[in-house]
Structure 1
Amino acid sequence: MTQLSPLQRLWLTETVRLREEHAGPLDDLEANRRARSSAGDLATRLQNRALWLAERDGLVSAMRHWLQGSRLALLGLAVLAIISGGGLAFAALGDGQRPVNVFWALGSLLGVNLVLLLSWLLGVIFAGEHGASLGRLWLWLSGKLARDAKAAQLAPALLLLLQRQKLNRWALGTLVNGLWLLAMLSALTLMLLLMATRRYGFIWETTLLSADVFVSATRALGALPGWLGFSGPSEAMIRASTDTLNSSEAVRQAWAVWLVGVLLVYGVLPRLVLTAFCRWRWIRGRNALQLDLNLNGYSQLRERLMPSSERLGVNDIAPEQLHSVEAGQTDLHTEGALIVAIELDDQHPWPPTLPATVKDAGILDSRESRQKLLEQMTRFPPARLAIACDPRRSPDRGSLALIAELARSAAATRIWLLQAPHGQALDANRLGDWHHALEQLGLPFATSAPINWLETGHD
């Protein structure tokens, strides 16, 4: 079984539940039996069942494609944030041909960021869903970049799983604040580069307000940056900054340091703190995430996965489509060799002469015998398995499904197509059907008894 993180296991379990809720129950006889044989509570068995079905039906590979798409989408949003931050810095400072109005520059750098920051905080406090537009954009891009039809079921399942524990607000918070942090860092970096390579003059202008207002506002905004060592212009410098012709090098540097400090304290640091806080809440909630066992899709499986009394017999009909067989899928230790026959009549003597190291599992001719052997092989899978079949019978879906199920419980499997009894001949078309069906399952077959292979592991 593929190694997955706890969140991915829960995610796939929820995806399988949604799939069965909308499309009906899956062919899960083998998955249920494997889940019952595993130790653990109901939640663990639900996950084991879902993971086996997800592996069989391609949901695990679809999840990997979706995760690749989500990383590409996140990378695209990050590049967009970096470009946007650089655009804010260039719009605030310009090309150096004109003096920079410090408060217009400050509004360009921090205005949108602070408005959206306050909007996000209010949304988290009162609604808990702010930032969903950016989250939906990311999910939409992830699905488009995944290019896997089965991946369409994964995003709704992930949202439902997170919403029950209200983790979506912290996941979106990490995304939103992280992207704005990149934008602010990009703006700060480009602003420093522009100031280091161009000569900027700084002014303030007003028609209605007095100079005292600008002096007070500049000092108030520069108080917190001043604690970090970003000294701002003095009162005399502020009052003199109405005309760049009279500004000295010291005045320009003082305004530049003030502007950098204000952007760092009011733009970068709040987003950094909120990103770290949302990330901490996300990790904490993710580690405590569990399945809601009261949901109908899970409660209906309780008796099948944790039965009060074991029932024998196969009750499900043969599946419409057989799933490919991969040898050695079991995680348990395999040992020994086993031979079994499927629905033989009296014309075929059984068992053949076997070495002492090869065990005979008999003839499977009833639901009870099939279920008993499958349960036994789930707990103690053989290293080598030979399945004897009578090619005079048609390879119906039920027989092929049983062969595939037996083969998945062994490390290596071979099919023995028995010779026709003396005086009878095999139908060539029917034998061809057997060959075609076994090739689709990916199982080796032969008309000679694989006794030596069973005993030694080679021919």
Structure 2
Amino acid sequence: MTALTPLDELWLTEAVRLREEHAGLLDDEEANRRARASGGDLQTRIKHRALWLAERDGMRKALHHWKQGARLALIGLAVFAVVSGAGLAFAALGDGQAPVNVFWALGSLLGFNLILLMSWISGVLFAGKSTAGLGRLWLWLSEKLARDAQAAQLAPALILLLQRKRLNRWLLGTCVNGLWLLALLSALTIMVLLMATRRYGFVWETTILGSDTFVSLTRGLGAIPSLLGFSVPTEAMIRASGDSALSIENARQAWAGWLVGVLVVFGILPRLILTALCYVRWHVGRRALALDVNHPGYVELRERLMPSSERLGINDAAPAQLHAVQTGPAASQSQGALLLAIELDNQHPWPPALPENVTDAGVLDSRESRRTLLDQLTRFPPARLVIACDPRRSPDRGSLALIAELARCATATRIWLLPAPDGQILDADRVDDWHRGLQQLELNWTDNAPLTWLESGHD
């Protein structure tokens, strides 16, 4: 999976906050502990906590699927834009059997585009937001193509995050103007190809307007294109084209150049400029994105992530489900070997004789001892960890959750299911429960003392 960008980290943090607002607080004891151990300011700790929860609960994978869906949706819209642009060109020029009415052709190529362009600009300038349907369609398609239940909060989280800096308009503006630019470029390409392979005649027609109106309109629209080198029909050509399509080659070329020039100047160039402007504003603005740490959802985390005094003890209820142990710290980040036990009684002599390079962490039999050890392991993760358990006890959900949390702090972990004390026999059903629970956590276990592996890393 690709590395997260700064925007992705903020995005996932907002998604976790929205999820907790709708479904209640997540089981975050370990996430809070790791965030406190990571240090930094409140925003850094909030992000660290959220990213750990997102990784654990599958939201990071859902983000990857959402972005894949966004790319597919954008590709689909781009294909639609290319096909639509080609359709505009065919509709404007026809099959060459009849003369082309230049102003009908111009209306076909630019009319709908100009109406939507004015609507988008008005929305940005006066309403302060972009109401582009194509942009909203893109977000909707992205969510549908993600096909991941964990992606439900991603689109709302992105919108809320971008609204703080009013970046929605620039992201959607880049998308919308870029798609229209692609459509107009497709129309220009097809139009040039048609003109290069077919003979077109150009006329203008009217019932109530005079020829002077069309002369002025044609010359006015061609003024800027002429500065860029596009040809403009002479006044005589314009007046003559009001009666019938001129067969003169120069007239055909002049009208063709005028039509292409008007499309470029009044269609393609505005969309190109707006696409570049929106992209630059989006690119610059996203660097200034940050969490609103004064939001009530984050204010509640302040005491847990930056406590004024350290509290010991675990007060949260056991999680509703267990999560498989993820990869622990890399070998380069850990060192040493550690042996510990969970809730042993006096019938088990403890600790056993240990090699010199193995440390005894004692027996975890209280909330305080668990919290203290977890804090230490987070800061100084061991390379190898053995957790001794008494299989006479039931493997309840809390014990398995603690084992999983301990195992995530070590590079490699083994579970030692201790033999029964002299004169006692282990309950086979209870041992099977331990095996099933450890299989769910994807942890290895042994009935024999794994001290050789603990000392040297192999058996």
Measured against the shorter chain, the TM-score band is: over 0.9
1:311-322 map, 5 Å: 311-322=311-322
Q: How many angstroms apart in 2 are the aligned matches of 1:356 and 1:112? A: 81
Q: 1:192 to 1:85 in 2, by over 3 A?
A: same
User: In 2, are the aligned partners of 1:330 and 1:409 still within 8 Å (CA)?
Assistant: no
User: In 2, are the aligned partners of 1:167 and 1:282 still within 8 Å (CA)?
Assistant: yes
Which range moves more in the overlay, 332-341 or 28-37? Answer: 332-341
- CA offset digits 1:75-124 (Å, max 9, x no partner): 11111111111111111100000000111111111111111111110110
Structure 2 residue aligned with 1:106? 106
Structure 1 residue aligned with 2:340? 340
Structure 2 residue aligned with 1:36? 36
User: In 2, are the aligned partners of 1:131 and 1:173 still within 8 Å (CA)?
Assistant: no
Structure 1 residue aligned with 2:167? 167
Report the residue type matching 2:335 in the other structure.
Answer: E
Structure 2 residue aligned with 1:208? 208
Structure 2 residue aligned with 1:283? 283
Q: 1:346 to 1:37 in 2, by over 3 A?
A: same
Q: 1:63 to 1:268 in 2, by over 3 A?
A: same
Give the TM-score taking structure 2 as reference length.
0.98
Structure 2 residue aligned with 1:140? 140
Structure 2 residue aligned with 1:196? 196
Which range moves more in the overlay, 144-153 or 256-265? Answer: 144-153
Query: Identity of aligned pairs, percent?
Result: 72
Structure 2 residue aligned with 1:45? 45
Q: How far 1:397 sits from its partner (Å)?
A: 0.8
Q: How far 1:374 sits from its partner (Å)?
A: 0.1
Which range moves more in the overlay, 126-135 or 5-14? Answer: 126-135
User: In 2, are the aligned partners of 1:324 and 1:441 still within 8 Å (CA)?
Assistant: yes
Q: In structure 1, the residue corresponding to 2:218 is in which secondary structure?
A: helix
1:383-398 map, 5 Å: 383-398=383-398
1:407-422 map, 5 Å: 407-422=407-422
Give the TM-score taking structure 1 as reference length.
0.98
Show structure 1 runs of 5+ residues with no match: none
User: In 2, are the aligned partners of 1:241 and 1:247 still within 8 Å (CA)?
Assistant: no
Structure 1 residue aligned with 2:122? 122
Report the residue type matching 1:239 in the other structure.
Answer: R
- CA offset digits 1:224-259 (Å, max 9, x no partner): 111111121111211221344643011001110111
Q: How far 1:133 sits from its partner (Å)?
A: 2.8
Q: How many angstroms apart in 1 are the aligned matches of 2:24 and 2:54? A: 15
Structure 2 residue aligned with 1:84? 84
Q: What is the aligned-residue RMSD (CA, Å)?
A: 1.3
Q: How many angstroms apart in 2 are the aligned matches of 1:21 and 1:176? A: 32
Q: How far 1:132 sits from its partner (Å)?
A: 4.2
Q: Does 1:373 align with 2:376?
A: no
- CA offset digits 1:355-409 (Å, max 9, x no partner): 1111111100011110000000000101110000000000011111100000001
Q: Does 1:158 align with 2:142?
A: no
Q: Does 1:239 align with 2:250?
A: no
Structure 2 residue aligned with 1:323? 323
Q: In structure 1, the residue corresponding to 2:174 is in which secondary structure?
A: helix
Report the residue type matching 2:396 in the other structure.
Answer: D
Q: 1:313 to 1:332 in 2, by over 3 A?
A: farther
Structure 1 residue aligned with 2:177? 177
User: In 2, are the aligned partners of 1:328 and 1:408 still within 8 Å (CA)?
Assistant: yes
Q: How many angstroms apart in 2 are the aligned matches of 1:47 and 1:298? A: 10
User: In 1, are the aligned partners of 2:69 and 2:146 still within 8 Å (CA)?
Assistant: yes
User: In 2, are the aligned partners of 1:344 and 1:363 still within 8 Å (CA)?
Assistant: yes
Structure 2 residue aligned with 1:456? 456
User: In 2, are the aligned partners of 1:131 and 1:176 still within 8 Å (CA)?
Assistant: no
Q: How far 1:20 sits from its partner (Å)?
A: 0.7
Show structure 2 runs of 5+ residues with no match: none
Structure 2 residue aligned with 1:435? 435
